[in-house]
Each structure stands twice: as structure tokens, then as C-alpha cells.
Structure 1
Amino acid sequence: MVSGVTPLPGDARILHVGPHKSGTTALQGAFHLARPRLAEQGITHVGKGRNPARPVQAVTGRPPMLGGPTPHEEDWQGLVDEVAATGDQRALISSEFFAAATEGTIPRIVEDLGGSRVHVVVTLRPLGKVLPAQWQQYVQNGIRASYEEWLDVMFNRPHERPNSNFWQRHQQGDFVERWAGVVGADNLTVIPVDDSDRGMLLRVFEGLLDLPEGFLVPDDRHANRSLSYGEAETLRGLNKGFKARRLPASFYSTYIRHGAVKRMKVAYQPPKGSEILTPEWALERAAKLGADSAERISALGVNVIGDLERLSDYPSNRAGTPASGVAVPPEAAAQALVGAVGAIRRGGVPDPAPSRPGPGAGRDRRLRETPARELARELFSRGLRRARRVGGRLLGRGRSASS
């Protein structure tokens, strides 16, 4: 147990609200892995999976990820009922999608989940480390802007698309203040993440949940690594082709995000030196914002476990100008293709045919019979051609794709 961490009350509703890219996936994996043992300790990890994304999207009014299922009010009510069913035991609710909650939404969330029993936990990382991680995540959700284009919008035109919700999540001082304004400073804990200590977050939560040291362990089977720059650029090329052909959003979710990208992230490990570099001007702006946020959070009087000065860290080893014309290694492209084809074989393509035959029945039948060929040609041609440029003996020869 981390020294100085006071366990939360035995009937608390511990609401971990993220935001994104602050260790949320690692925490949720550990919670999910320990679910039966947590129950033995009188703690319910609320939700059917690692992250109750759909119920939270429903209450915050945020749309699902591209091609994902539409959230409904019933999803949120189901989560609320599950929390209520825990009675006088601890309930643990963790989702970075709570980061989308506005000043108008937070009071309802808190009231629905238990009112004065709710204790909010915020995990924060230096903004300079969040930027590349968020950009590549947005690319996994279909955006087509390059990293430098995206940075320009985020810092210089922050209310424009793409992803104008970035600062809703990552203006850290505002973020903490919104939640503290509803639950009170005594009922909010901020944890500045120490990236040099991989076990730090788990040990802090062990302390908050009154668990023995070593109780929570990482679930390495579901690590959510970031894409390398080459992988992200290749996926960005696929996004352009996807948009140009106006393919159904459900295809993207099934075959790209949960097929190609998921397989690539699990089966391929990028070499050192392939990380996403951030221009110095953006890192300097991020460090200044982090310092301002640390000062604001300190003034709020909330509980802080760790060093707020970490929020102003300048990751000099990740400073630089992203290279142009970078290509994904053939091995990564091959794994992506395997993932997409596997998704096609497992799940098929959403049936576009009407409920009973009509004038277009013959055309719909042809669509159903050729999903693999159509998707492979359209969604992977850019990535595979780019891979050939690096020595695509594995995948054949051809011209490189434009970025």
C-alpha cells in the first residue's frame, strides 16, 4: 500500500473518470482480472466488461466511436441499477468516457450513482505525453488529419474540428474543477501518474480500496499500446480511402478497429525509435499549460497523491518533427490484413438487403457475396502499397500510396 493513502469508506462509490490516456486501460484491465477476488473483499467492479463505455456515452450525450453501437438511456439506467444493488458495499466504476461530462451533466451522474457517497478519482499525465497518444487514438477512430495539422488545430484553433472535444478532456485544471464543484474537494482525489513506476497506479488504488499490497496485477493480455508513427500514418491513409468510398461506419468498427488494428497491436511490436515525435513548440505549450493546471488544482484543495509538478514535464526524448513519407513495416501490414480477414470470416458484413426481395435484391446479393474482396482492395491497398516501399517482398511489389 502506498504510504499516506487513506482508504475510502466501506460504502463509497469510487468513480474513476479518467481522462483518456492516463493509465485507464491498465487500471480497468487489473480491475476486471480481479473481479471475483474483489467481490470477496466486498467490492463490485461495476459493468459487464472492463469499461462501461456505452452507459457512460449515453449519460454524457457523446456519440459512440465510429461504427460502434448507439448508446441509449436504458444503458445508463442499467449501470445505475447495478451500483444501487451493491447496497452498503464499495462500488468501483471506471471509464474515461466520463471525461466528456459537462457542468450540466455531472450533477446528474453524481446523484444517480449515490450522491454524497461518490468519491471521484482523476488520473493525470503530462500533456506532452498525452498529445501523441490521443492523436493516434483519434486516427483509430477515423480522422484523416496529420499529427502536425491536428496539433495546429488543437493549440491555435481549439474549437474547430477535428476532435474539438480534446480540451474538454485535457484542460486539466478545468477538468478537476468541474468535478470538484459538484462532489466537493474532500471527495475528489487527483493522481499525477509517475510513468517511471509502472505499479504506482495499482498500488494507489489498493490503498483507496483498502486492499493488501500486490492484490491488483496488470492484465497483460489486453495491453492497449499506442500505434507507432508508421502504423498511424498507414491507418490515416486507410481512413482517407474509407471516407472517399463512403463505406458504412459499421465496416470501420468491425474490420478496421476491431479487426486490422486490434490484431496489429497484439501481434506486432514496433521497434524502438518508431514512436510519434512532437514538435518542440507544441511540447513547450503543453508544459506551460501543465504548470498552470498544477497551480489551479493545488489551489482547489483536493486530495493529491503524487507530485503535481509532473504535469509540466517536457518529454525531451520525444521532441522532434514527424518524418514525411514514413512507412509501416511489412510485418505490421501483414498482421493488419490477417486481422481484417479474420473479422470478415468471424462476423460477416451487415446485411444491406431489404426484409423481402425487391428491385435491388440482385445487387444486394452481389454485395453480400464480395465483402472480402471489396474491403481488402479498398481499405488496405494504401497500407499494403506503402509497406511494399520498405521491402514488401512479403506482400508483393507495387507503387507506394500517397499519404
Structure 2
Amino acid sequence: MPPASLLLPEAARLLHIGPHKTGSTAIQVALQEAGGTLEQYGAFYATGPRHRPDKAGWALGLKGRPAGTGQPPIERWNSLVRKVADAGDRRVCVSNEDFGRATGEQVGRIVGDLGGDRVHVVAVARRLDRYLPSQWQERVKAGDRRGFEDWLRVVLDLDNPDYSWDRLNVWHAHDLEALVGRWVDVVGPDRFTLIASDEQDRELLPHAFEDLLGLPRETLKPNPQRSNRGLSWAETEMVRAANQHCAEAGWSRAERRRFVKAGVLRELQSRPTPPGPRNPPLPGWALDQVRRLSEQRVARVRGLGVRVVGDLDTLLVPDDVTAAAGPVELPEVDVAVAGAAIAAVMRVALGAGSGADAAGDNGADEDE
């Protein structure tokens, strides 16, 4: 698809709705850091001091707010609305992956407040076999003690009619047919763009946003220092073990957040990713189900009539992805990584580092 066909009209309002775990942070940081260039080309990125207007969304009642924190005042949302309106005829981008969690009623409010018929929506779809391990990691960072397969048995139990927060958290924003439907019901298919993420093509996502906003190539560049790097499998298992010890000791959520999130996680995410596997393999039963789900979601998206950037077939599970063979042996944690984690806890205990605004700006401690 040539870039000219992606360019939005002047005064358009581009809402990037994520969803979570699809590379949103990298795009948000790049948009924020390129503010001067955006200005030159008649574009504007609407946020606050952070890379995304998260508190504005939480003020509206969107999911994703850190557990144990109060809902921000509605003035946070109203301030964002004014900022978008004051941008005038510039192309404005508002990026917040919590928009992907919005209910149908909230979608109507968001679109109406941020521009009505000037609003265009963009979402990113990711391969399920890549998304699920990443989402399990987020739950471990938030305090979950379950292993990958135990967690999968809950979130992939899609025929179970009983309510499950875990299933809702995984699928509300990643059931593509439902996600697209909630927004298309308000903006129509002509104003919805779906980007099929290709993890072999790291330029697809920034180039798509450059084309939508009328920006020259290389405007949106990743910043490794502000990237939301994931943990390795070994690091995740180390954090999961720490969660188990916290639970056995009877420590509160606030205490766990102080030492594990503000201490261990902040330290790990400030270090280079260690060698070794990034994610655990899917067990055979889960891989078979994920293949079927992937085929179904691609077939359904083809019939939605929305604009697609990229190749939908990249959302299918490749043939060379193999399942875990038998019981999975957990990876060993590097001695240097373990030592750094211990030192981080000591720093927090001694008062050299603390606070709830810890590693994982993506809302790892989500509201339940």
C-alpha cells in the first residue's frame, strides 16, 4: 500500500488504541521525542509529561490503572480533550493502549470528545504465540505465581461460561473481531486501520505512523534507553519465585510492589537482556489451539472491511514453531543477574530507591 493512501486529512485525529503488548511504548516514546519535527509537518502528539496520557484514560474509567491507586479526577481527561481541540488544523495523534480496553459506551465518549467525525482509529495486531508469553510475563510482574502452562489453561479455556478476570484481561483487547467491531460501530470501517505486526520487519510500525501523519522517513526512531524491554524467561521465573516467597511470608501487595517492582524489576529492566530464551515454549495442546485461533481471527478480519497495513498472514503461527517436548525444564538464572536483583532489594530496604512508580510503566499492576 503506497504511503499516499495512508495519509490522513488535515485536522484529523488519529487514535492509537494499542492494544497492550503490541509495541505501543516504542511508538509513544518516538512520537514524544519527535515533537519538533511533527510541528514542522503540521502534526501534533497529544500527551503530558509521560509518553502516553494514561491518567486521562483512567479518569474516564478505562482499565489498566495500577492496583491500589485511586481513579484520577475527570479533569485529567478534560485537559487532554482541550489539548486536542487546541491543536486546530494539525493532524493530532493520541496514543493510549488502554483505549483498546474500552467498552462500547466508553468508545462513544472517547470518539465524541476527541473529534467526532474527524477521528480515525489505528490498532496493531500481533501473533498470538508471541502475545501470550508476553502477557503471562506481565502478570508475573504484577505478582502472579502461576507457571506458564497453568496460566494458559485458564486463559485458553474459552468454552468455559464462568467469568474469569484472566480470560477477560487477555482477550477483551485481543479478540480482533470484537475489538474492531466496538470501534467500527462508532467510526465506521473507512476510518479504521489495522496494522498486522511483523516481528521480522521492525520498520513497519513506525513507517505506518509516519505515513498516517504525513511525516518523513526516520522521524520516528526507537529509543533503547526508554524502551519497555521485556524480561527473559529466566528473569521472569526468578520474579515468579520471588512472588511465591512474598505470598508465603504474608507480605502485602504494597510491600511486594516496593521490593519486587520498584527494586528487582526496575534493576532488571535497566540492564541489557541476558542471553538465553526469551519466552517459554507453548505446550502441544496450547500450540494446536493457538494455531486454530490464529486462523479464525485472520479469516474474520478479512471480512471486516477495514484498511489493513501489512500482511494478515504474518499473524498465523509459522510451521517452524514447535511445541515443548515433554516436561519443561526451567532455565537457570545468571549469577550476575541474581546478584543485581539482591542488590536492588537492599537499596530499597536502605532507602536508596523506593516508590510505587516503578519499572513497567505499562501498568503491570493492573486493576482487577
Aligned to 2:332: 327
| TM superposition score normalised by structure 2 | 0.87
Aligned to 2:136: 135
Matches of 1:95 and 1:12, distance apart in 2? 17
Q: What is the aligned counterpart of 1:259 among 263, 278, 281?
A: 263
Aligned to 2:366: none
Aligned to 2:33: 33
Is the contact between residue 231 and residue 273 of structure 2 (CA under 8 Å) also seen in structure 1? no
Matches of 2:334 and 2:191, distance apart in 1? 48
1:198 aligns with 2:202: yes
Matches of 1:74 and 1:347, distance apart in 2? 31
Superposition deviation, residue 327 in structure 1: 3.5
Matches of 2:319 and 2:242, distance apart in 1? 30
Aligned to 2:20: 20
Aligned to 1:185: 189
Superposition deviation, residue 57 in structure 1: 2.5
Aligned to 1:336: 341
Identity of aligned residues (%): 34
Superposition deviation, residue 25 in structure 1: 1.7
Deviates more, 1:107-116 or 1:326-335: 326-335
Structure 1 pair 169–230 and aligned structure 2 pair: CA distance change class (3 A): same
Alpha-carbon displacement from aligned partner over 1:108-131 (angstroms, at most 9, x marks no partner): 111111111110001111111101
Describe the SS at the equivalent of 1:164: helix
Superposition deviation, residue 210 in structure 1: 0.7
Describe the SS at the equivalent of 1:92: strand
Describe the SS at the equivalent of 1:44: strand
Describe the SS at the equivalent of 1:132: helix
2:157 partner amino acid: N
Superposition deviation, residue 289 in structure 1: 1.6
Structure 1 pair 37–318 and aligned structure 2 pair: CA distance change class (3 A): farther
Describe the SS at the equivalent of 2:245: helix
Structure 1 pair 249–77 and aligned structure 2 pair: CA distance change class (3 A): farther
Superposition deviation, residue 343 in structure 1: 4.8
1:106 partner amino acid: V
Aligned to 1:282: 286
Matches of 1:308 and 1:274, distance apart in 2? 24
Matches of 2:127 and 2:338, distance apart in 1? 31
Superposition deviation, residue 151 in structure 1: 0.4
Aligned to 1:293: 297
Matches of 1:71 and 1:240, distance apart in 2? 31
Q: How many residues align?
A: 350
Structure 1 pair 125–253 and aligned structure 2 pair: CA distance change class (3 A): same
Superposition deviation, residue 324 in structure 1: 4.1
Is the contact between residue 31 and residue 45 of structure 1 (CA under 8 Å) also seen in structure 2? yes
Alpha-carbon displacement from aligned partner over 1:33-68 (angstroms, at most 9, x marks no partner): 212322332322111211222221232442522455
Is the contact between residue 64 and residue 98 of structure 2 (CA under 8 Å) also seen in structure 1? no
Deviates more, 1:193-202 or 1:71-80: 71-80
Matches of 1:239 and 1:109, distance apart in 2? 37
- Matches of residues 36-185 of structure 1 in structure 2 within 5 Å? 36-48=36-48, 49-62=50-63, 64-67=65-68, 70-156=71-157, 159-162=163-166, 164-185=168-189
Structure 1 pair 348–142 and aligned structure 2 pair: CA distance change class (3 A): closer
Alpha-carbon displacement from aligned partner over 1:7-47 (angstroms, at most 9, x marks no partner): 10111111000111112122112112212322332322111
Deviates more, 1:98-107 or 1:245-254: 245-254
Is the contact between residue 128 and residue 283 of structure 1 (CA under 8 Å) also seen in structure 2? yes
Describe the SS at the equivalent of 2:105: coil
Aligned to 2:360: none
Superposition deviation, residue 303 in structure 1: 0.7
Structure 1 pair 330–315 and aligned structure 2 pair: CA distance change class (3 A): farther
Structure 1 pair 348–228 and aligned structure 2 pair: CA distance change class (3 A): closer
1:241 aligns with 2:242: no
Pair member with larger Rg: 1
Structure 1 pair 3–35 and aligned structure 2 pair: CA distance change class (3 A): closer
Matches of 1:3 and 1:129, distance apart in 2? 28
Is the contact between residue 289 and residue 312 of structure 1 (CA under 8 Å) also seen in structure 2? no
Is the contact between residue 10 and residue 89 of structure 2 (CA under 8 Å) also seen in structure 1? yes
Gaps of 5+ in 1: 351-403
Is the contact between residue 12 and residue 90 of structure 2 (CA under 8 Å) also seen in structure 1? yes
Describe the SS at the equivalent of 2:144: coil
Is the contact between residue 262 and residue 353 of structure 2 (CA under 8 Å) also seen in structure 1? no
Gaps of 5+ in 2: 357-368
Structure 1 pair 245–152 and aligned structure 2 pair: CA distance change class (3 A): same
Structure 1 pair 130–85 and aligned structure 2 pair: CA distance change class (3 A): same
Matches of 1:251 and 1:86, distance apart in 2? 43
Matches of 2:347 and 2:183, distance apart in 1? 42
Superposition deviation, residue 274 in structure 1: 4.9
